[in-house]
Amino acid sequence: MKKAKINTLTKIILLIAAILSLVAIVLLVTDLGRRTIGVNESKSTVAVSAGDTLSKILTDQGMTVSDVDIIAKTLKSGAGVTSLRADSDKLTFIRPRDDAPIQKIVLVPGPWKQIELTCDDAGIWKCETVEIERDTRAVFRTGEIRDGDSFYVAGGRAGIPAGILADVYDLLAFEMDFERDIRAGQEFSVLYEENYADGEKVDNGRVIAVSFDALRGNVKMYRFRKSDGTVGYYDQDGNGAIKSLKRTPINNARVSSSFNLRRKHPVLGYTRAHKGIDFRAGTGTPIPSAGAGRVVKRATDRGYGNYIRIRHNGSYETLYAHMSRFAKGVGVGTTVKQGQIVGYVGSTGLSTGPHLHYEIIKDGKHVNPMTVKLPAIGNLSAADKVRFNKFRNTIDDIVHDLSDHPNWFVQM
Ligand SMILES: [Zn+2]
């Protein structure tokens, strides 16, 4: 009997405590809500279009000339913004009430940051750049080459965005010849990033992992950050996947003539070694350097036409011939990066039509760009290799999970 009474009392006390805390929570939430959102706050957004200036937009919002001047100065000193860009910038004006003066201006100059101008109680404007929180998700797409497909066609059908596909092509081109290594039935997959803000997709990020069933076996590449902070792509054994030279400097160009030491020359008509590869491409197509190096020759020759020869680190040189013109500022002695434009496709010299004639010379001897084993850059230290192996296993697990559930994603 006594026991039961105490129990009832305890229950009542607990109930009162619960009610009180609920009231407290409700009060707290409402108060927070008032502070951050404001009850009658008014917001209006203006998209900047051609001909708009900051002062025009601000004046339209009812700001005085001196206010406009202060805002312009604050934007310049606080965020380095001196002008607005039409068709991309947006300005949002926030007032505490409809009829109150503007208290806050938000400028969104790109997807991942916004510039906030705030007016304090004393009427002083302050400028702050806020990074927008990026929610990065790994998504997985898989595809198959069908009869007559190019990799781009098959990749597009697999739902891989064009930008990601171009990055994948660039990576795989170190290992594969997209002209001759493509067969119906080959499968490929890509794990890549999609960036979201506030639950909305904003853009695609980077390629995390790639797999391609090439003729000589499965090719895999993983994006991995070394302990020194540098990022690169590595094969499943941790060997650098980025090579110091590219087999095909121009993406997606058709090979019109391959490396052949006993070829009948199309112009001269007699058998003459073809010590390079011809890529068919339109006149004016930019020609990127196959690797980092220094220009050792820029000349015009009866056979090669306008050509450039680049010496790369180590024992490699590359040569680019029949150019319509050289790139500005590229001459003998110029240091070039991998991918830097050195000239433009043409048909100068002994040539039957616009194409790039590309040679790789190793230790003074011409080698077949499609088959030569190219030196890797950025190989891993022993310690990094241990870290890489763990990372690769994690990625392989993610790929395994996502291949069973194609609509899932993994938060990165
Ligand atoms: Zn050629």
Structure tokens at 237: 């054994």
pLDDT of residue 26: 46
The residues pairing with 301 across neighbouring beta strands, listed in sequence order, are: 305
pLDDT band at residue 182 using 50, 70 and 90 as cut-offs: confident
Is the per-residue pLDDT at 256 higher than 60? yes
Centre of ligand 1 to C-alpha 294, Å, is 22
Centre of ligand 1 to C-alpha 274, Å, is 6
Burial 318-336 (b: 16+ CB within 10 A, else e): bbbbbbbebbeebeeebeb
Those residues with Cβ within 8 angstroms of residue 181's Cβ, 6 or more apart along the chain or in another chain = 214, 215, 216
Centre of ligand 1 to C-alpha 215, Å, is 26
pLDDT band at residue 28 using 50, 70 and 90 as cut-offs: very low
Q: Of 169-178, 363-372, 381-390, where does the model show the most confidence?
A: 381-390
Domain boundaries, the chain: 42-131, 135-242+379-411, 254-367
Task: List C-alpha distances in Å: 327 to 176, 283, 286, 304, 378.
Answer: 28, 14, 9, 17, 29
Is the per-residue pLDDT at 32 higher than 60? no
Centre of ligand 1 to C-alpha 362, Å, is 18
Centre of ligand 1 to C-alpha 328, Å, is 24
pLDDT band at residue 3 using 50, 70 and 90 as cut-offs: very low
Average pLDDT of span 213-238: 92
Those residues with Cβ within 8 angstroms of residue 381's Cβ, 6 or more apart along the chain or in another chain = 226, 227
Centre of ligand 1 to C-alpha 295, Å, is 20
The whole-chain average pLDDT of the chain stands at: 87
Average pLDDT of span 273-286: 92
Centre of ligand 1 to C-alpha 368, Å, is 12
pLDDT of residue 269: 63
Is the per-residue pLDDT at 15 higher than 80? no
Centre of ligand 1 to C-alpha 284, Å, is 17
Centre of ligand 1 to C-alpha 357, Å, is 4
Centre of ligand 1 to C-alpha 308, Å, is 14
Centre of ligand 1 to C-alpha 19, Å, is 86
Give the β-pairing of 325-326 and 341-344. antiparallel
More confident residue, 78 or 1: 78
CB-facing half-sphere around the CA of 105: CA atoms within 13 A: 25
Centre of ligand 1 to C-alpha 179, Å, is 16
Centre of ligand 1 to C-alpha 178, Å, is 18
Centre of ligand 1 to C-alpha 320, Å, is 9
Grouping H, G, I as helix, E, B as strand and the rest as coil, residue 155 is helix
Grouping H, G, I as helix, E, B as strand and the rest as coil, residue 107 is strand
Q: What is the pLDDT of residues 45-103, one digit of tens each?
A: 999 999 899 999 999 999 999 999 999 999 999 888 888 988 888 899 999 988 888 99
More confident residue, 50 or 258: 50
Centre of ligand 1 to C-alpha 13, Å, is 92
Centre of ligand 1 to C-alpha 266, Å, is 10
Centre of ligand 1 to C-alpha 256, Å, is 9
The whole-model pTM stands at 0.68
| Residues, CB within 5 angstroms of ligand 1 (ion) | 278, 357
Is the per-residue pLDDT at 34 higher than 50? no
On whether the CB atoms of residues 118 and 103 are closer than 8 A, the answer is yes
Centre of ligand 1 to C-alpha 181, Å, is 21
Centre of ligand 1 to C-alpha 291, Å, is 20
More confident residue, 253 or 274: 274
Centre of ligand 1 to C-alpha 344, Å, is 15
Centre of ligand 1 to C-alpha 409, Å, is 46
**Residue 409, Cα to own-chain centre: how many angstroms?**
19
Identical fold for domains 42-131 and 135-242+379-411, yes or no, is: yes
Tell me if the domain spanning 135-242+379-411 has CATH number 3.40.50.300. no
Render 335-387 in DSSP notation, one character per residue. Answer: EE-TT-EEEE-B--SS-SSSEEEEEEEETTEEE-TTTSPPPBSSPPPHHHHHH
Q: Which CATH number fits domain 42-131: 3.30.70.120, 3.10.450.350, 3.40.50.970, 1.20.200.10?
A: 3.10.450.350
Is the per-residue pLDDT at 173 higher than 50? yes
Place of tokens 């009162």: 16
Domain 254-367 CATH superfamily: Glucose Permease (Domain IIA) (2.70.70.10)
**Residue 49, Cα to own-chain centre: how many angstroms?**
27
Centre of ligand 1 to C-alpha 358, Å, is 7
Give the β-pairing of 277-280 and 231-234. unpaired
Centre of ligand 1 to C-alpha 83, Å, is 49
Ranges 88-92, 118-122, 172-176, 218-222: which has the least confidence: 172-176
Ranges 196-200, 238-242, 250-254, 398-402: which has the least confidence: 250-254
